[in-house]
């Protein structure tokens, strides 16, 4: 019954009978969910101005604003924490910049905890109203929320026991950030309605969230979608992202005199040359920038061909901040890809979710976790009417 009404919007007992219970059982279940603080009764059709004749039916709706979920994007250089209601309505979001050089485990753990505290304070929500929390990290994560150390311990530093850092929250999950990008794309992005796709996070470094037959793949150690294998692909040369490659190739061309004096690239300082800059100049017709875009677009075609050979997706979604200007790269890759694959070539598309894709995926993953645990939580005390709302005045209680 809860699964039905979570997605139903306003409904009547007659609507809810589609689950398969008798009317009396259906009404009993709805009343129990009301007592548990999960459903609220709405004004009937007459009060709402929709009643014409006959006895107005009782109307109900999931009480999405009584409990909360939190999604965290814990990147190497930033932490973004977002708190939302049970259907994904964002109540507050908090962003903090980190120093990449200080990636000690204790520093990251404290930064993530601080971001959660700050976003709850901004929303005016108590920790005991949080049902589920999901954290995305730039590391493989297994089903137990643990990351392998990696060659230099980097992965373990990115995930320093985060699953155990919030003991007061009933459901805490840690996932690879690219996998959460795939969750977001499937929920509200370019993967919606598709069972086989790969979300490619490709700004500074590459990572892939892989969805096959409608399921996000993890692997034994959470390493499905790790791009370290591209270290051994000569035409790609590593797991660097598209934005990084654009910038580095532009800097190298300038340094080696391959950029004309008339190109704006030749007049920029090294620290001013970014992937976005190269894309913008290419879009404006600069031939040197366009040549670099053609080169990196060819690399994207190779990357897509390798992904296609392993996972056979119907589409590859370029996700993350780079997606906002990646159409030129996608056009190049789409043109070159068919000659590099044996299987039918996947469609390459850009994401519409931008830099918030990991945070969005974390929210939807937390909602899924909330659906699985919320019936095991104690019913709220009668008269406890704390409602979640943006900018609410409920004290955080921490």
Place of tokens 């109203």: 129
Q: What is the mean pLDDT of residues 367-372?
A: 95
What pLDDT sits at residue 378? 82
Could you tell me if residue 278 is left (phi over 0), alpha (psi between -120 and 50 degrees) or otherwise beta?
Answer: alpha
Alpha helical stretches, state H, the chain: 2-6, 13-16, 23-35, 105-123, 154-158, 177-188, 242-255, 275-283, 287-311, 327-336, 357-373
Neighbours of 338 (CB within 10 A): 11
Confidence of residue 398 (pLDDT cuts 50, 70, 90): very low
According to CATH, what is the number of the domain 2-62?
1.10.10.10
Q: List the chain domain ranges.
A: 2-62, 68-188+356-376, 197-352
pLDDT at 293: 97
pLDDT in tens, 41-84: 998 755 555 555 556 788 999 988 778 999 999 999 999 999 99
**Residues with Cβ < 8 Å from 290, sequence gap 6 or more?**
282
Q: Does 2-62 match 68-188+356-376 in CATH topology?
A: no
Q: How far is CA 355 from CA 56, 94, 361, in A?
A: 46, 14, 11
180-216 residue pLDDT tens = 999 999 999 999 999 999 999 988 889 999 999 999 9
Angle ∠(136,155,181) on CA atoms, nearest 5: 25
pLDDT band for position 391 (cuts 50, 70, 90): very low
Pairing of strands 315-319, 197-202: parallel
pLDDT value for 101: 82
- Chain position carrying tokens 């903090």: 96
Q: Supply the mean pLDDT for the chain.
A: 91
Establish how many alpha carbons lie within 13 A of residue 140's alpha carbon, considering only the half-sphere containing its beta carbon. 18
Q: Are the C-beta atoms of 67 and 390 separated by less than 8 Å?
A: no
Q: What percent of the chain has pLDDT over 70?
A: 92
**Per-residue pLDDT at 328 exceeds 80:** yes
Split at pLDDT 50, 70, 90, the class of 379 is confident
Pick the CATH number of 197-352 from 3.40.800.10, 3.30.420.40, 3.40.640.10, 3.40.50.150: 3.30.420.40
Structure tokens at 166: 């919030």
Average pLDDT over residues 243-259: 95
68-188+356-376 CATH fold: Nucleotidyltransferase; domain 5 (3.30.420)
What is the per-residue pLDDT across 159-178, written as a single tens digit (0 to 9) for each? 999 999 999 999 999 999 99
Confidence band (pLDDT; 50, 70, 90) for 393?
very low
Assign 205 to helix, strand or coil. strand
């Amino acid at each position: 019954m809860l699964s039905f009404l979570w997605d139903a919007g306003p409904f009547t007992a007659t609507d809810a009978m589609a689950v398969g219970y008798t009317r009396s059982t259906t009404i009993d279940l709805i009343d129990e969910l009301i007592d548990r603080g999960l459903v609220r009764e709405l004004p009937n059709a007459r009060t709402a101005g929709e009643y014409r004749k006959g006895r107005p039916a009782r109307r109900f709706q999931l009480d999405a604003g009584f409990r909360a979920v939190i999604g965290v994007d814990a990147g190497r250089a930033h932490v973004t924490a977002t708190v939302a209601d049970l259907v994904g309505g964002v109540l507050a979001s908090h962003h903090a910049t980190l120093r990449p050089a200080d990636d000690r485990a204790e520093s990251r753990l404290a930064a993530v905890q601080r971001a959660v505290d700050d976003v709850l304070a901004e929303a005016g929500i108590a920790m005991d109203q949080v049902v589920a929390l999901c954290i995305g990290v730039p590391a493989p994560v297994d089903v137990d929320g643990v990351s392998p150390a990696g060659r230099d311990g980097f992965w373990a530093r990115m995930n320093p026991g985060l699953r155990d850092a919030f003991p007061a929250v009933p459901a805490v999950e840690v996932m690879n950030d690219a996998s959460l990008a795939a969750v977001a794309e499937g929920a509200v992005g370019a993967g919606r309605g598709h069972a086989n796709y790969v979300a490619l996070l490709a700004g500074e470094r590459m990572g892939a969230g892989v969805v096959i037959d409608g399921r996000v793949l993890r692997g034994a150690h959470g390493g499905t979608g790790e791009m370290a294998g591209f270290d051994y692909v000569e035409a790609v040369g590593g797991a660097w992202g598209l934005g990084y490659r654009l910038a580095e190739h532009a800097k190298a061309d300038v340094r080696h005199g391959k950029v004309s004096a008339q190109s704006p690239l030749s007049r920029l300082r090294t620290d001013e040359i970014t992937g976005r800059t190269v894309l913008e100049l290419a879009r404006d017709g600069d031939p040197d920038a366009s040549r670099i875009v053609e080169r990196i677009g060819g690399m994207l075609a190779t990357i897509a061909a390798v992904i296609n050979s392993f996972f056979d997706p119907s589409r590859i979604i370029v996700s993350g901040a780079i997606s906002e200007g990646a159409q030129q790269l996608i056009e190049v890759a789409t043109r070159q890809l068919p000659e590099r694959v044996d299987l039918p070539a996947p469609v390459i598309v850009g994401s519409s979710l931008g830099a918030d894709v990991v945070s969005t995926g974390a929210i939807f993953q937390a909602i899924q976790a909330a659906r699985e645990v919320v019936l095991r939580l104690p019913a709220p005390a009668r008269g406890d009417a704390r409602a979640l709302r943006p900018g609410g005045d409920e004290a955080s209680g921490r």
